[in-house]
Structure 1
Amino acid sequence: MSTDDPRQPDMPGGSAWEQMLRQMFGPDADEALAQMRAQGLDPAEMAKASGLPDDPAVLSQVVAQVQRMLSSSGDGPVNWDVAHDIARQAAVQGGDPVLSPAEERQATEALGVAELWLDAATELPPAGGQARALSRSEWVERTLPTWRTLTEPVATSMSTALAATLADQLPEGMALPPGLTAGGAAPDPAAMMRQLGALVFGMQVGQAAGSLSREVFGLTDVGLPLVAEPATALVPGNVAEFADGLDVPLEEVRLFLALREAAHARLFTHVTWLRGHLLTAVDAYARGITIDVESLEESVRAIDPTDTAALQGALSSGVFAPQTTPEQQAVLARLETALALVEGWVDEVTATAALPHLPHAVALREMIRRRRAAGGPAEQTFATLVGLELRPRRSRDAAALWARIAREQGPDARDAIWDHPDLLPTAEDLDDPAGYAARRTAAEGEHADLDRALAEILGEDGPEDDGADAATSE
């Protein structure tokens, strides 16, 4: 018999594999192993291809980890325990040391100075809340709840379609090993595939969130408000890495990024409808996404449904990219315009506040613009998962529009536009900033005509009341 056969108890690799398989299958191990071989699943080949160590204790830990992951995923579309763990692991890749007192002091002082400079550039007051420095791991902890809000709607559709497709890939009549569940009962194949889909999606979201933690400068610079409460923060490690190699002092870079963070926070805090407006648009877009099941089935035929690494790679490559409808494209267009208006306002207000104080303000503004336009690998991953790119495509056009409004009508008029979502400029305004004032005047005139017409109608409905009142007064 081959020396690679894991059924040989005297072989180190075989002994470890046999122990692992028997631990998974429990009392029915012999019958389960025979069934696997009858269905073409050769444990010997699994042993060769596993890449796992031959230490039984390590293999036992692997089995226990799989059990925990499957048992903890619950009924949700994303396994958030796995997402959290992988996000934390990704955050510390390359190092995530505890922040020093000096780093914390420099970050909070920069945020404090930024607030003073912004007071001269906008009437929106400071956000309030705590200003602090965050490590990458702390950034993950603070923002993961919002990633849940962003990704779960589309994950629901994706996981359902993925689970159904993967369940069809299992050999007909195959019994899953009882040891895969923490309670020891034989799992239902469809339920296990849903758990597997939630596990894979959790791995992907966690990897993307952890990767973003190594790219962001604060809590707001991905364009969406990632915390519900008023707060400002900087990630000193990322700020220092960005400044490294630039011909700009670190202190100046830190102050410029603090200005952007504080400006975002002011907008999201005092324009009370804005956070809900953006997140509701993301939710509406994601919930309307449909999955092309036929295309999905064709894509996964060559993928082993038990190979989570292959499934994760397929997700990253866009194999399971959602199909959007014309209605979703319209929602997406409105959302992208809103994101561009946020980014453009922050860009313009930050530049106004920075120019009197920072010698490299113009260069830093252009660097950030290009960085936001290009995006990073983590942003691209979320675009694949949710069908939504987090970078505004038209922020330059929006900044030009905000600058024109401030120049022609004053900063107060510029900021007053955020009083109600109906007042926001449209994509047409971004196309033609010069015509914005005329279109706004015409729109206001139409509203005034409507108000007068309503007043006349209401006036005609009440002559008897008016007469009664007049008689009474006499």
Structure 2
Amino acid sequence: MTSNPLNPSNGDDTPKDPLTEMLQNLMGGKGMENFDPAELAKAAGLPNDPNLLAQMFSQVQAMMSAPSEGPVNWQLAHDNARRVAASGSDPSVTSQQSREVDEALRLAELWLDPVTDLPATGLIGRAWSRAEWVEATLGTWKRLTEPVANSIANALSSAMTEQMPEEMKSMMGGASSMLQNMGGAIFGMQLGQAIGALSADVVSSTDIGVPLADLEMALLPANVAAFGEGLSLPENDIRLFLAVREAAHARLFVQVPWLRGHLLGAIEAYARGIHIDTSRIEELARDLDPSNPEGIQEALSQGVFMPQRTPAQDQALEKLETALALVEGWVDELTAAATENLLPSAGALRETVRRRRATGGPAEHAFASLVGLELRPRRLRDAATLWATLKEERGIEGRDAIWHHPDLLPTAEDLDDPKGFSGRRKLAEASDSEVDDALQKLLSGGFDSPPEAEEGSGAGGQDGTAGTEKKDDGGRPGDEGSEGQEGQPKG
């Protein structure tokens, strides 16, 4: 392994090389003031390119000194997401596009009315640019990723401190928080990169199946146009089909108030269970080159800190994937029912969306590598079959009544056997009813009546019929019914 640039050998105990001097300046709050980049480039073996060096120093100093609330620098995440979203073509939404989106979403609401028992939302349809999608969803991204982001930032700063040479530790003083800032900044930048890239893929506010924007119904015209490229279908048909999907998502999340918290809570619970692979962190810290923040970002993007999932996490992931599949399956089934007789291209568009949701795009994979979670409904088709079966058995109202409470939701077992769901549900409901009846009888004193029982035993049985039953059984005397049969012996 090459010598560590953090621990230069100068023949004495006091490091004097330009790289160490730069770190001392950064940790002491002096930044790059009165520092010659050419000297550092020479010491580190870097090309003496003024523009390259200026960009490199700017990145390092930003990561080391950028203030953040908590272990993760969310301001850097926001700025990087906006920068990536704008790096391609992100034109502002025109008035015509806004009008087209509004009309499509209004029509979608009308088409949905006959196929669901859930009422319309009354939300105003909006047209967003990619940057507007970033602004509207970043708060939810923060909520979903903060548990694992905090773990990575803390583990990175701890490992870097442990791997740092002793002479550098002595110079740290009270500046250890800067290393934590660096870890939080690195994660924030990489998360912003993933969110910004995802903004180029999504076609609506609920496109990944999770309500990222609170009580919003929106399409992204530029991405809708990109989605339709190569499909050889009318642009208006594509916009209407995607509008029906968005309106169905919005109707579900608005009219089933507990569902948003249920989904986001499941994702948070999964994220809190992620344990960072500290051995990989330590390996990164040993080879850390402060002049190459891109190397750390690349490691993050490849998910090097994510160990194998535990059995408990596999169970948590199964529950989450089932919930995501149920949402997407319901939306898929409603969209098909609402459009099949109105859009000639509905069948082809349904299959295109199904495949797209099942495989995910590059940006979604980047996000999955970063936080260890893929927000894809792996069992979308099974869930759609389940909802279609429930409609046949119970009708629209009975199918949608499943959303009344989280305890009513189908399980992964139900996705395996959609036609057996109703039978299992009836058994469960019957069992619950028996328990409720017994509890009610107990509370009303129905099980606490020994005097009446004693009276009945003298008249032929506990309830007046026991003696008759025993006689029918051959007149066999019983402990309580023998006197009720006038003491006749057997036979």
Q: Please, what TM-score do these two structures have when normalized by structure 1?
A: 0.83
TM-superposed CA distance for 1:423, in Å, is 0.3
Give the distance between the partners of 1:322 and 1:89, measured in 2 at CA.
31
Give the distance between the partners of 2:58 and 2:151, measured in 1 at CA.
29
Map 1:238-257 to 2 at 5 A.
Answer: 238-257=223-242
Give the distance between the partners of 2:29 and 2:351, measured in 1 at CA.
66
TM-superposed CA distance for 1:215, in Å, is 0.4
Specify whether residues 331 and 187 from structure 1 end up closer, same or farther in structure 2 by C-alpha distance, changes over 3 A only: same
Give the distance between the partners of 1:153 and 1:27, measured in 2 at CA.
29
Specify whether residues 339 and 143 from structure 1 end up closer, same or farther in structure 2 by C-alpha distance, changes over 3 A only: same
Looking at CA atoms only, which structure, 1 or 2, has the larger radius of gyration? Answer: 2
Give the distance between the partners of 2:130 and 2:102, measured in 1 at CA.
16
Map 1:63-78 to 2 at 5 A.
Answer: 67=61, 69-78=63-72
Map 1:42-57 to 2 at 5 A.
Answer: 43-46=41-44, 48-49=46-47, 52-53=50-51
Show structure 1 runs of 5+ residues with no match. Answer: 1-16, 178-185, 465-474
Partner of 2:206: 220
Map 1:201-212 to 2 at 5 A.
Answer: 201-212=187-198
Greater displacement, 88-97 / 269-278: 88-97
Other structure's SS at 1:219 match? coil
Specify whether residues 328 and 73 from structure 1 end up closer, same or farther in structure 2 by C-alpha distance, changes over 3 A only: farther
Give the distance between the partners of 1:387 and 1:62, measured in 2 at CA.
29
Specify whether residues 316 and 51 from structure 1 end up closer, same or farther in structure 2 by C-alpha distance, changes over 3 A only: farther
Map 1:308-319 to 2 at 5 A.
Answer: 308-319=293-304
Partner of 2:14: none
Q: Please, what TM-score do these two structures have when normalized by structure 2?
A: 0.80
Q: Do 2:330 and 2:387's aligned partners in 1 also have CA atoms closer than 8 Å? A: yes
Q: Do 1:128 and 1:231's aligned partners in 2 also have CA atoms closer than 8 Å? A: no
Q: How many residue pairs are counted as aligned between the two chains?
A: 429
Structure 1 position 292 matched with structure 2 position 286: no
Specify whether residues 51 and 159 from structure 1 end up closer, same or farther in structure 2 by C-alpha distance, changes over 3 A only: farther
Partner of 1:108: 102
Give the distance between the partners of 2:249 and 2:49, measured in 1 at CA.
47
Deviations 1:346-382 (A, max 9, x none): 0000110011110010000000000011101221122
Q: Do 1:24 and 1:63's aligned partners in 2 also have CA atoms closer than 8 Å? A: no
Name which of 336, 340, 343 aligns with 1:351: 336
Name which of 75, 91, 103 aligns with 2:85: 91
Amino acid in structure 2 at the alignment position of 1:327: A
TM-superposed CA distance for 1:211, in Å, is 0.6
TM-superposed CA distance for 1:77, in Å, is 2.7
RMSD: 3.1
Q: Do 2:28 and 2:175's aligned partners in 1 also have CA atoms closer than 8 Å? A: no
Amino acid in structure 2 at the alignment position of 1:124: L
Partner of 2:113: 119
Q: Do 1:170 and 1:305's aligned partners in 2 also have CA atoms closer than 8 Å? A: no
Specify whether residues 47 and 187 from structure 1 end up closer, same or farther in structure 2 by C-alpha distance, changes over 3 A only: farther
Give the distance between the partners of 1:333 and 1:124, measured in 2 at CA.
27
Structure 1 position 152 matched with structure 2 position 146: yes
Structure 1 position 393 matched with structure 2 position 387: no
Other structure's SS at 1:173 match? helix
Q: Do 1:380 and 1:389's aligned partners in 2 also have CA atoms closer than 8 Å? A: yes
TM-superposed CA distance for 1:20, in Å, is 9.1
Partner of 1:442: 427
Name which of 411, 416, 433 aligns with 1:426: 411
Structure 1 position 378 matched with structure 2 position 378: no
Name which of 326, 330, 341 aligns with 1:341: 326
Show structure 2 runs of 5+ residues with no match. Answer: 1-18, 450-491
Give the distance between the partners of 2:115 and 2:213, measured in 1 at CA.
24
